[in-house]
Structure 1
Amino acid sequence: MSPTESGPQRWALLIGIDFYIPDGNGQRSYPNLRGCVNDIGLIASFLQAKMGMAPGNIVKLTSTNATNSTYRLLPPEDPSSRPTRDNIIKAFQDLAEKAPGDLVYIHYSGHGAQLPTAYHSTNPTARDEALVPADVYINGGAYIRDREIAGLLQRLVDADLNVTLVLDCCQSGSGNRYAQYDGVRGLGMVDDTPVSSSTDVTCRVSPTTDCFRGAELRSNWALEASGYFFIAACTSSQKAREKEFSEQGNSTSAGRGPYGALTYSLIETLQQQPDLSSPPLSQLIEDIRIKVERHSSDQTPSLEGNAKHAIPFFGSCATRKAAKGGADMRVKLVDIAAGIVHFNRGHFHGVELEAEYEVYPEMSLPGEGARSTIVRVDSVEDLVSRGRVVTGNGTIDLAVKLGSRARLKQVSRHSQLERVGFVHSGTKTSVATEDVWMEEFRQHAKSRDCSYWNCAEGLSEDTKLSFYLERTEGGVFHFLGRDKVQLNNIPPVIHHEGCWPDDIAAVLDHITTFNRAQRLGINPIPQNLRDQCSFELLGKAREAPNYPEQETGQELHTNPYQGDVLETVKPLDGVYQFRGDEFGLFRFRNTGKSSVHLTLFMFGDSWSIERTFPEGEGSSEEVKAGEERYLAIEFEVPEGRAVDTVRAIITKTPTSLDGFELPSIQTLFSQGYDRKGGPECLPELGDKWQVYDVTISTSVE
């Protein structure tokens, strides 16, 4: 893993703060922590042992608790190696001098803070998010605020460095103390009391070893995660925990003691990878979440970054485009004795009773020669499911562990399959010849056991089917809809080219998957989230939105259009009419009493499903009670007319929606079509999730 002489170098900045230096009176407001320096030792050992990094390329800034004196005033580290404000900023600045293309990893374990803004001219009522250096109580209360972090990160991006940032600290600004929980890191209070320091000291609580790493660091607290990747320990309403880990039974080479749940799970996941240059962060984050939730059930790590790339851990942003692997289910819990496997997908993701899944040991994937275990689903809830092993004697392969992937092998007999029929072309081609290809395709379809469609047989000609296949005299297959009219934007399949049955099946897989996703939410039931939220189109404009400049992650909280710039638009038969290059302004409101998590998708008429907000694989936007978001989307059309649907999906808890995305069907054959177990959803709504749709028709004129 070590770089070649001509290749990019790797550099790491590791910051861990257990001990916060008290003021001149021996007082401190932030309680000391216990596992942050352990985190740094664990990360440094991994980088050297597994990634071949030279110790000289790793900068460690740590503040350690002494074991022999509870009331000492300084950490034992040399002053140049302490995580003071000046030392942290200098370390960032030194990284900006590295060669373009080099790889930079930054890891912070310690307290985070939310405090009254220091930038009153921008927004006097806003809160600043900050990291808390070890010397926060001396030198005038020296936080490192979000605006400063943004500037430091931007310098690294501008220097053409490939940056991965990990923050193992809280993102919550709630008032909960959580002192009763063992090993919970953080503070959680905001102190609005003015102090003489230029940066107000917040969160005054009594020192305790049972604490969480606290205050609010929003998912977009620094930048829009543009040009770098950012892993956060938890969402803004959760707490980052540290736990006692023993040497026995772990795969991290960690010593016994407290570690951050995120840091420990990150290294545990990376240690299990057979090839660190292969799995992208977007896949690793799923495994990390599962492991973190095992230690801390109310903590959900998130990944922010450019969703159009899939880089490996500590890798380059120039790496290949992402292969959509998010549709795979993951093992959440294993009961070896009972032969039961728990999954991190449920009704919301399309899991159905009696469906069968192949579970692959460790981090193996289909096609890698690994033996799989077949699990039949016997219990499904909104966001999770459970199944029993049906292969062999019902026992689980010992290699099947937390994070193992599961892919659909056999659809449930309860599943509503799309029916596909055939249309005789009425050309000079004999009916007998047409019957040959029809029968050939029927037999091919029967050999497939994981599709959500099948060939209709034994039905009357008057029966309405979902799709029809028609072959022209020239050997071109057309795909027709329920009304036997040719579907738009479907790539042609040629009878005499390649394996045409596979090509037809790939198209049918794609469009039936798209249809299943579209049907999500068409039959609302009581007791869902619709009553506490709203999603609406406020209007359209030719001008681009002008979001206010705010450094607190609240840019989307304000309407970016003032005066009469925004034109009110009314739907025609449920469809809003736009012209090309117009912007639509959408508003999402949470009028309930608890937070929800928002994700926006665009269902395009090229049979594509694309996440439009927020950016980042596996991410969603937490919208707290009483908050709203203003989201402007530009609608473009190269020619003719296009009909798109903007869908807002909300969940009560952070839930991965990566598996819902579909590329344009036009790229189906150029990129391959291994869509087995692809995006799945059901029309029923649960009480933990809800969808809202707005359909836009865009024309050139």
Structure 2
Amino acid sequence: MTNQTPNFYALLIGIDFYFPYTSPEGTYRNLQGCVRDINHVETYLKDTFNLTPDQIIKLTATASENPQQPKEPPELLPTYENIVTKFQEVTAIAQPQDQVYIHYSGHGGRAKTIYENLKGIGGLDEGLVPTDIGLPNSCYLRDLELAKLLEDMVEKNLVVTMVLDSCHSGGATRDIQGDDRVRGGGFIDTTPRPTDSLVASVDKLTQNWQTLCANSRNIKVVNGLLPEPKGYTLIAACRDNELAYEDVFKGTERNGALTYFLLQELRKSGKEIGAKVLFDRISNLVHNRFDRQTPILLGETKKTFFGGQSVNLYGSNLNRSIPSGSFVNRSIAVMQVDISKNRIKLQAGEANGIKKGAEFDIFPYGTTDFNQPENRVASVKVVEVGASNCWAEVTALFGSNLPRGIGILPEGMIQEGSPAIPLTPGIKQIRKVRLLLPSVLPKIPNLNIALLPAILQSKKQQVEGHRWIEFCSEDTESEEIDYFVSLTSEGEYIILDADKEPIKYFLFPVKADEPKAIETLINRLIHFAKYQSTLELDNEDFTAPLNGKVKVELIKSVKRQPVVLNAEGKVPVLEVDEKVSLLITNESNRTLNITALFLQANLSIDQLYPKGAPYEVVEPRQQIRVTLELELPENYQEGIDVIKVFATLDGTDFKILELPALDRSRKGFGNQTPSNALEQLLSAVVDENNPQRNIKVVTYAYEEWTTEQVKLIVKRNID
């Protein structure tokens, strides 16, 4: 690069040398890789941005042969005074929208608080540990001070990125005293220290901290050091209860793990790499090397790492505006690749809603546009689920030089940090059916039961929508079967569920000697498969922003008091002609379009609400109340009904999901053209001619909708 980057400033702080001192609690040992970290960062910045010496402010403390004195002169040492002064100097020099990069490598520490009015008598201050912490009247750069220094930069509209390659050992202090690779003291310092600050008055520091914490979800999100970052990007070396390590990675040099992998990936990927993409890669490289170190990324994560540009995390093919603050990152990162076992480890588990059997598409490292399925490199299926991670087996590989299908995972095809995209909603359309004949075969005129399997296969081809079911041989494992077909002793066809129990929906039997009995049986199987697909339709994506934001309640008035009948997942039992209210509440901060479908005992699906329109617009925190008068289809004494409520961001027509009652002609969905990504998904769910074993639509519909449903039992009053 030949042109200077005039609007870029760097503040680099590395501390290997700590003035020796003793205290009852402990001491900060010298480190070996911090100054080297800073020198490597400086070289990278000069080579990449062609920065001049006045654009890089550097404070380092290097151990020398004299254990009492570092190599650098006092004015270049990262003392408390110098660190504060240089922060303020950068803030003063830089102009609005200038880029500022801050990198700290050294010890992090904890001390008895000097802000008792804010934190209480037993409170602790987290802080960066200056080189002179062992000298009389020395100070930590405490959490309130660092927060104020950063906030001053944000208020001036500087574009700030900070890396903290240190630990604070909040919950891991007992066993680090003998490990000189750890960048933390491992003790709580109770040494009396000055309470005056060079940053601001106590009142201003306290007020700033309280304001920041009031706007944060969690006060202690960065190793207990900072409130949730607002207006800047931060990568910290580890979590509060973990350790930040330095080690020898190549040759004989010792480097900080975070800094080493950070620079390695920046050199490979370039300065325009997105912060989230970069972090997904380096965090797993660090964690795989040191299982007690998990870096964290916070703040402005939707920009390039150096903060200059926004990153298109939706994909270039989506022609719609993205509301500010609405983004939820759908991809999760590959943590580890195990070629020998043909599997990968993903950075999500039970806590994220991941279940065994969940499927993902894997894209190349650095991908941000997931709208192109042809770019994926593999598909995987989760086989082992932990609390916060899971193992997934590679089920298919994709590429110009690879055959489709299961194969041995080539080295380098999937990398740590590669994005994994969940395949939702995971609806199974094609249902497997097996003939299960009784031990004593009934005698049926004009039907050779021995030929029944071949007859079923032949007749199935003549029925519209026959691809929705697949007849299987007796060799197929029972666990894979969705429905069984059998014959009663009276010569009637009966449909059983996967547990071989009769399905209650089929009220009227189909006698095997009736004309078109087999066609009727097959049509019932197809109808039930389509009904089940809609019943099971759910947005299972663990990142879906609308999930849990719509409350659906059945309300009954009892002695003038409202009673929620479906509270805590209860299935209410009600009588025909009984009146209840359906209450739908928009608990999100978005305007939603609400549609309610009614799935009845006769296997019909109709739009319950609204009438005469595809959806009702409901503002945030608003409610819809619908009065229901319960009924049962003719000849039914009892039935299970389901009210399925859909909430969408875009106006969506759910008529495509409607079904007539069982044994009535099913209507196709005609020539309705999908108007948004969700309608494309719905079209795939009900496709009469091209059903899929599992719908795998890589689409951003996941963030546009959610669904909730209420089940109720309706009985006739026979008194």
Q: What TM-score do the two structures reach when normalised by structure 2?
A: 0.54
Distance 1:461 1:672 in 2: 25
**Aligned AA (2:564):** D
1:373 equivalent among 361, 374, 378: 378
Indicate yes or no: 2:224 matched with 1:240.
Answer: no
State the match for 1:149 in structure 2: 146
Secondary structure, counterpart of 1:38 in structure 2? helix
Indicate yes or no: 2:242 matched with 1:258.
Answer: no
Distance 2:192 2:313 in 1: 49
Query: How far apart are residue 513 of structure 1 and its match?
Result: 8.6
Distance 2:108 2:255 in 1: 17
Once the two structures are superposed, residues 612-643 of structure 1 have per-residue CA deviations (whole angstroms, 9 ceiling, x without a partner) of xxxxxxxxxxxxxxxxxxxxxxxx95685379
Going from structure 1 to structure 2, the CA distance change for 1:418 and 1:574 (only over 3 Å counts) comes to farther
Indicate yes or no: 2:339 matched with 1:336.
Answer: yes
Indicate yes or no: 2:91 matched with 1:96.
Answer: yes
Output aligned runs, 1:293-312, within 5 Å. Answer: 293-306=287-300, 310-312=302-304
Query: How far apart are residue 295 of structure 1 and its match?
Result: 1.4
1:327 equivalent among 317, 327, 330: 330
Output aligned runs, 1:286-435, within 5 Å. Answer: 286-306=280-300, 310-316=302-308, 319=310, 323=314, 326-349=329-352, 351=354, 353=356, 357-364=360-367, 366=370, 367=372, 372-382=377-387, 383-388=389-394, 390-391=396-397, 392=403, 393-408=407-422
Query: How far apart are residue 325 of structure 1 and its match?
Result: 7.4
CA contact (8 A) 1:407 1:677 kept: no
Going from structure 1 to structure 2, the CA distance change for 1:642 and 1:16 (only over 3 Å counts) comes to farther
Distance 1:357 1:149 in 2: 41
Output aligned runs, 1:506-545, within 5 Å. Answer: 517-518=547-548
State the match for 2:69 in structure 1: 74
Once the two structures are superposed, residues 550-608 of structure 1 have per-residue CA deviations (whole angstroms, 9 ceiling, x without a partner) of xxxxxxxxxxxxxxxxxxxx9963999xxxxxxxxxxxxxxxxxxxxxxxx97567569
Secondary structure, counterpart of 1:65 in structure 2? coil
CA contact (8 A) 2:108 2:183 kept: no
Secondary structure, counterpart of 1:277 in structure 2? coil
Once the two structures are superposed, residues 156-201 of structure 1 have per-residue CA deviations (whole angstroms, 9 ceiling, x without a partner) of 1122111112111113334424134462221221133x5475599x
Once the two structures are superposed, residues 330-367 of structure 1 have per-residue CA deviations (whole angstroms, 9 ceiling, x without a partner) of 32222334433333334554555566544334434654
Distance 2:142 2:675 in 1: 46
Distance 2:266 2:297 in 1: 16
Secondary structure, counterpart of 1:187 in structure 2? strand
Going from structure 1 to structure 2, the CA distance change for 1:113 and 1:672 (only over 3 Å counts) comes to farther
Distance 2:175 2:312 in 1: 43
Query: How far apart are residue 288 of structure 1 and its match?
Result: 2.4
State the match for 2:108 in structure 1: 112
CA contact (8 A) 2:430 2:529 kept: no
State the match for 1:203 in structure 2: none
Distance 2:545 2:530 in 1: 16
State the match for 1:626 in structure 2: none
Query: How far apart are residue 462 of structure 1 and its match?
Result: 8.3
Query: How far apart are residue 105 of structure 1 and its match?
Result: 0.8
Distance 1:512 1:16 in 2: 40
CA contact (8 A) 1:177 1:189 kept: no
Distance 1:87 1:295 in 2: 34
Distance 1:264 1:82 in 2: 23
Going from structure 1 to structure 2, the CA distance change for 1:408 and 1:396 (only over 3 Å counts) comes to farther
Secondary structure, counterpart of 1:86 in structure 2? helix
Going from structure 1 to structure 2, the CA distance change for 1:411 and 1:243 (only over 3 Å counts) comes to farther
Query: How far apart are residue 417 of structure 1 and its match?
Result: 7.3
CA contact (8 A) 1:509 1:675 kept: no
CA contact (8 A) 1:177 1:187 kept: no
Going from structure 1 to structure 2, the CA distance change for 1:75 and 1:60 (only over 3 Å counts) comes to same
Secondary structure, counterpart of 1:188 in structure 2? strand
Distance 2:343 2:329 in 1: 23
Structure number with the higher helix fraction is: 2
Once the two structures are superposed, residues 46-86 of structure 1 have per-residue CA deviations (whole angstroms, 9 ceiling, x without a partner) of 222334434442221111122xx2x5321111322211112
Going from structure 1 to structure 2, the CA distance change for 1:152 and 1:416 (only over 3 Å counts) comes to same
Output aligned runs, 1:17-166, within 5 Å. Answer: 17-22=15-20, 29-66=27-64, 69=65, 71-97=66-92, 98-125=94-121, 126-166=123-163
**Aligned AA (1:312):** T
CA contact (8 A) 2:394 2:409 kept: no
**Aligned AA (1:75):** P
Distance 1:321 1:663 in 2: 26
Going from structure 1 to structure 2, the CA distance change for 1:142 and 1:516 (only over 3 Å counts) comes to closer
State the match for 2:555 in structure 1: none
Long gaps (5+) in structure 2: 198-219, 315-326, 398-402, 432-463, 469-521, 551-560, 568-585, 594-617, 626-645, 653-673, 679-696, 704-719
Distance 2:240 2:38 in 1: 23
Going from structure 1 to structure 2, the CA distance change for 1:293 and 1:123 (only over 3 Å counts) comes to closer
Once the two structures are superposed, residues 404-427 of structure 1 have per-residue CA deviations (whole angstroms, 9 ceiling, x without a partner) of 223356987xx77799xxxxxxxx
Going from structure 1 to structure 2, the CA distance change for 1:371 and 1:149 (only over 3 Å counts) comes to closer
**Aligned AA (2:410):** I
CA contact (8 A) 1:272 1:363 kept: no
CA contact (8 A) 1:129 1:146 kept: yes
Distance 2:195 2:543 in 1: 56
Identity across the alignment (%)? 29
CA RMSD of aligned residues (A): 4.9
Going from structure 1 to structure 2, the CA distance change for 1:223 and 1:359 (only over 3 Å counts) comes to closer
Q: What TM-score do the two structures reach when normalised by structure 1?
A: 0.55
**Aligned AA (1:149):** L
Output aligned runs, 1:492-503, within 5 Å. Answer: none
Query: How far apart are residue 227 of structure 1 and its match?
Result: 1.8
State the match for 1:221 in structure 2: 225
Indicate yes or no: 2:176 matched with 1:172.
Answer: no
CA contact (8 A) 1:262 1:292 kept: yes
Distance 2:303 2:176 in 1: 36
Secondary structure, counterpart of 1:272 in structure 2? helix
Distance 1:397 1:140 in 2: 56
Secondary structure, counterpart of 1:96 in structure 2? helix
Larger Rg: 2
State the match for 1:551 in structure 2: none
State the match for 2:445 in structure 1: none
Query: How far apart are residue 321 of structure 1 and its match?
Result: 7.3
CA contact (8 A) 1:19 1:64 kept: yes
Indicate yes or no: 2:671 matched with 1:666.
Answer: no
Secondary structure, counterpart of 1:156 in structure 2? helix
Query: How far apart are residue 282 of structure 1 and its match?
Result: 2.9
CA contact (8 A) 1:114 1:217 kept: no
